[in-house]
Amino acid sequence: MRKKFQPIIVLVLLLATTFSAFQPVFAQGPFDMLCPECHGTGKISTTSTCSICHGSGQITVWEECVTCDGSGKIAPKITLKRMNGLGTLVWLDWVARVEGVFHNEEDKGTYGVATSEVHTVTTTYYHSSPRTYFPPHEDVTMTIDTPEIELLTDWTYTIYLSSKDDITCPSCDGSGGRSVLATCSECNGSGRVTTTQTCLVCNGRGYVTNQTAVNLAIFGVTVVIIGSVLGITVFALSRRKRQEPVR
Ligand SMILES: [Zn+2]
Ligand SMILES: [Zn+2]
Ligand SMILES: [Zn+2]
């Protein structure tokens, strides 16, 4: 009776051994194991020095000057303090003369041209001054004659700066702005960037085929088959032996 059960016991033992070998890798598939490259995440993260800020976390940015909007130049402020219109004699000829007192409010001198506008009932006459220097914080009197006007003609007048040279912006000294340090937006100031790519070892699955498990399975199945064949043979032989004395 004992010998009859031997092949069955061997078979059960072999099956148990084979299956217990697969036990730790049953999580995904019987022949899968966690990818050793990405540890099951399917992704590979690489941290490297930020190429934008070269690891400093800061970048130099150009901050435009608000005074000159980045141009480096501004139109100077030259005000008209007062003006006057009078008739005067030039080489015994009477002329209509307009005077204007201009004041350069800036710390820098500049050049400008004044224009007078003289109105009669019928006509307006325009005359301009030569290009004139306006020193900083000084009064400059501009005098413009209108020879077309006859004595006893009624006339009104005005005078203004028709053109003036831009001056170097006092806020940025002509540079148009300044370089300031700002936090690098590429790495948020850390100086390092992390790039995540699909793991090429497992193609993003997170698991790879466990070759050891496959080999074990093949080995186990082989052992089971050989064991079964052997067991059945032994069983058959033992039965034949027992039957012999009867013949
Ligand atoms: Zn950076
Ligand atoms: Zn400026
Ligand atoms: Zn992987």
- What pLDDT was estimated at residue 26? 47
- The CA 44 to ligand 3 mean position distance, Å, reads 7
pTM (2 d.p.): 0.57
Place of tokens 């002509």: 174
Q: Among the bound ligands, name the one nearest to the CA of residue 207.
A: 3
Comparing CA positions, the residue from 164, 163, 124, 157 lying closest to residue 143 is 157
- The CA 178 to ligand 2 mean position distance, Å, reads 9
- What pLDDT was estimated at residue 246? 56
pLDDT tens for the chain, 247 residues long, are 455 667 677 666 666 566 555 544 445 677 888 999 999 999 999 999 999 999 999 999 999 999 999 999 999 999 999 999 999 988 888 999 999 999 999 999 999 999 999 999 999 999 999 999 999 999 999 999 999 998 888 999 999 999 999 999 999 999 999 999 999 999 999 999 999 999 999 998 999 988 888 888 899 999 999 999 999 999 888 888 776 665 5
Burial pattern 119-154, b for ≥16 Cβ within 10 A else e, equals ebeeeebebebeeeebeeeeebebebbbeebeeeee
Helix (H) or strand (E) holding 229: helix 211-243
- What pLDDT was estimated at residue 5? 65
- The CA 164 to ligand 2 mean position distance, Å, reads 18
Determine contact, residues 159/27, Cβ cutoff 8 Å.
no
Determine the Cα–Cα distance for residues 142 and 163; give it in Å rounded to an integer. Answer: 14
